[in-house]
Structure 1
Amino acid sequence: MPGLSGDFATMPLRDAVSYLGNRRSSGVLRIQRPGVFKELTLSQGAVISASSNQPREFLGQFLINMGHLTEDQLGRAFETQRVTDMLLGKILVMQGIIPEPTVQNTLNLKFREMLLDAFQWGEGEFLFEAKHVVALGEGLDVRVDLQDIHREGEFRETAWQAIRAVFPSGKARLVVDERRLPESRQPGSRDEKLVTHIKEGMTIDEMALALHASDFYLYQRLYALYRQDAVKVREDPPPSPAAPPTPAPTIIGSESPVEEILQAARMFLDNCNFRDAEALARRAYEVAPSPQTAELLKSAETSLHEALRLLLMDPAQVPSLLLPQAQLKTMPLSAPERYLLSRINGTRDVAAIIRVSPIHELDALKYFQGFVDSGFVKLTPV
């Protein structure tokens, strides 16, 4: 079989996975939608290696969530990786931090989750290139049968329907009845951390970042606790009547034709105003996705990324909070913003915080620059 390609509207990904699994195909399967890219290496109908540009799908994130690794240990392993260029799984095994079977089991979970997450996409494209392959995930022998993943996908489709009926949004906050929780809950366990975050008033999205959790396993656990009458969605009082809205200032690109937005983005890019260039290029891509707008957005993102790395990470700088935590808790911050602010402890530099976070580096850098510009945070060179 020379290859297979299509979009999800024509052939759902689960059908393509079943097709490749039935034929025991070998090669490389690439999956993408705007901003998300995944690549899986297949051998005889099984996934043996996988990579993603989504930080939450990195091996280290799964290991932290499962309690096998701390953020500090992951940070030190990344330092070793930077010097040796070895795969993370091999480093953790060689240093005796995690046993090889544990890394293999976690890679098994990672491979599954990468595909099962994409099963939920409403739109996307896939491309399979048939070829002989020998690569192993993280240098370890791991194989996950595509047909097993396909069967799991069918189960999850039903599970998600039940979960979404109870927890329709990641912005929901919860309440917990500790009398109905399992008695076997151990200090430091995932359940104990989950209960702590619920009592702290975190949204589900904020809990996912704090726990380095994949969406399905977090929602599945919350749903199990809901069925035990231990957890339910918090019924917040309705917001106070809002004051009459004041006219919003005109933002370049909000109403302009796409060509005008592109022209302004290119002008900002040429003048090294990378922040506005990236914002306008993103707006143009959202309004009219095309190879032209995608290429401009990529160029603007690359330029902004390089500029922010030089500004915030080279040389190393340690962030510290200028506002008390109590005040930050009352501010209308996003889940990623709250996560990053919670990791500021006066010792970790910006790079160390971002390296182990489940957030894209460019997005995290933009948040940090916003913190500095808003007076939440100051940076001190190391």
Structure 2
Amino acid sequence: MRGLSGDFSTMPLKDLVVYLGNRRATGSLKVERGDVRKQLELREGHVVSASSNQPREFFGQFLINMGHLTEDQLEKAFSTQAQTRIFLGKILVMTGLVPEATVRGTLSHKFREMILDAFHWEDGDFLFEAADTAPEVAGLEVSVDLLDVHREGEFRETAWQAIHAVFPSGAVRLSVDERKLPERKPGSMDERIVQLIKEGLTIDGIALALHATDFFLYQRLYALYRLDAVKVSDEPPESEMSVVEEENGERGIIGSETSSDEVLQAAQLFLDAGNARDGEALARRAHEMSPSPRTAEFVKAAQEKLLVHLRRELADPPRVPTLQVAPGHLKTLQLSAPERYLLSRIDGRRDVAAIVHVSPLQELDALKFFAGFVDATLVKLTPR
């Protein structure tokens, strides 16, 4: 078959998936929405390889979420991968950390979740490039039928309607009635969910702590809700304000400029002066005021400069974070779910890079949070 391109406003991904599946297409499918990019390699209507720039869709995150690896084990596996250049799945099998059958099953789960997550996209673009043969897969062979994914997507449409009627947003907190919980084993998913609910985390916070994709978590919460064991708490939803946002607001860098061009000019001046943090913030502000390919490219360039700056400032050479406030005090602060997740990973042993590397957050976002912690004197960094 020939190649195909378009946008999801005219051809939703679920329709594209069934189209390619029915034709047993072979080739490469790329989908994009904003900064999110995913690529699938197809062989005769089956996904045989998939990649995403979203950390929560990385293979290691699925392994942690499903209880097959700890964060420490994943970090050690990453170190081995950096030295050997062998694919992560093969390393885990070779070292005996994860059985081959489990690696294959988790890869299959990753492929499905990557596609299904994009089924709800109402905008974005796709490009399918047909090929006579699919590229060789470097790693363990896994195959997922697109038509099976489409059937799962139809089921999830109905499931999401019921779920959202109960859990309106990820910012809500939950309450649990342990008397009505099913029997659960120590360390099981239900046990971990219950513990995180009791710690007062929001649904978003629970997802980060579990390294979980949205549907995986919400589906289990809904099952517990149907048992009358879990419900939305009467506490008000968590505020979206964060330490990082407060710090940026206090510096007054995103202010009263009258046009997007003026904000871009100010951003360029900051970047030229070596102030990547304020330059990047102004670049984002200009793009919010008047989105265009020009402002999008400017934001991308500013973010690349900021990432280099923050790596040098926070992670290279390695620096170990330690909390400068009592854990009880953190509970009184207005912190976002990602901030609470990162602060909970500080143990006085792991350095910033190690924490960020295994987190379900984009590297730049995580480093910006750490910079905010330092600015707010919540965290002190000590060279290793």
TM-score by length of 1: 0.94
| 2:382 equivalent in structure 1 | 380
| 1:32 equivalent in structure 2 | 32
Partners in 1 of 2:35 and 2:154 — Cα distance? 26
Deviation digits for residues 36-58 of structure 1, max 9, x if unmatched? 11111111111100011100000
Superposition deviation, residue 136 in structure 1: 5.6
Deviation digits for residues 231-256 of structure 1, max 9, x if unmatched? 000012799xxxxxxxx996545663
SS, match of residue 212 in structure 2 = coil
Equivalences for residues 229-244 of structure 1 within 5 A:
229-236=228-235
Equivalences for residues 40-59 of structure 1 within 5 A:
40-59=40-59
| 2:167 equivalent in structure 1 | 167
Equivalences for residues 1-382 of structure 1 within 5 A:
1-135=1-135, 139-183=139-183, 185-236=184-235, 252=254, 256-382=258-384
Partners in 1 of 2:344 and 2:138 — Cα distance? 30
Deviation digits for residues 323-342 of structure 1, max 9, x if unmatched? 00000011110000000000
SS, match of residue 382 in structure 2 = strand
Partners in 2 of 1:137 and 1:330 — Cα distance? 49
Q: Is the 8 A contact 1:47 1:145 kept in 2?
A: yes
SS, match of residue 196 in structure 1 = helix
SS, match of residue 139 in structure 1 = coil
Letter in 1 for 2:231: K
TM-score by length of 2: 0.94
Partners in 2 of 1:379 and 1:137 — Cα distance? 41
Off by >3 Å, runs of 4+ in structure 1? 132-138, 248-255
Partners in 1 of 2:376 and 2:340 — Cα distance? 14
Partners in 2 of 1:237 and 1:337 — Cα distance? 19
Q: Is the 8 A contact 1:50 1:137 kept in 2?
A: no
Partners in 2 of 1:238 and 1:262 — Cα distance? 35
SS, match of residue 291 in structure 2 = coil
Superposition deviation, residue 263 in structure 1: 1.5
Partners in 2 of 1:118 and 1:25 — Cα distance? 19
Partners in 1 of 2:374 and 2:137 — Cα distance? 39
In structure 2, the CA distance between the partners of 1:71 and 1:249, relative to structure 1 (3 Å rule), is closer
- Percent of aligned pairs sharing the same letter: 66
- In structure 1, the gaps of 5 or more residues are 240-247
- In structure 2, the gaps of 5 or more residues are 239-249
Task: Let me know the Cα RMSD of the aligned residues.
Answer: 1.8
Letter in 2 for 1:214: T
In structure 2, the CA distance between the partners of 1:199 and 1:10, relative to structure 1 (3 Å rule), is same
Superposition deviation, residue 134 in structure 1: 4.1
Partners in 2 of 1:325 and 1:145 — Cα distance? 47
Letter in 1 for 2:186: P
Partners in 1 of 2:365 and 2:236 — Cα distance? 32
Partners in 2 of 1:249 and 1:378 — Cα distance? 21
Q: Is the 8 A contact 1:29 1:129 kept in 2?
A: yes
Partners in 2 of 1:249 and 1:143 — Cα distance? 51
In structure 2, the CA distance between the partners of 1:329 and 1:31, relative to structure 1 (3 Å rule), is same
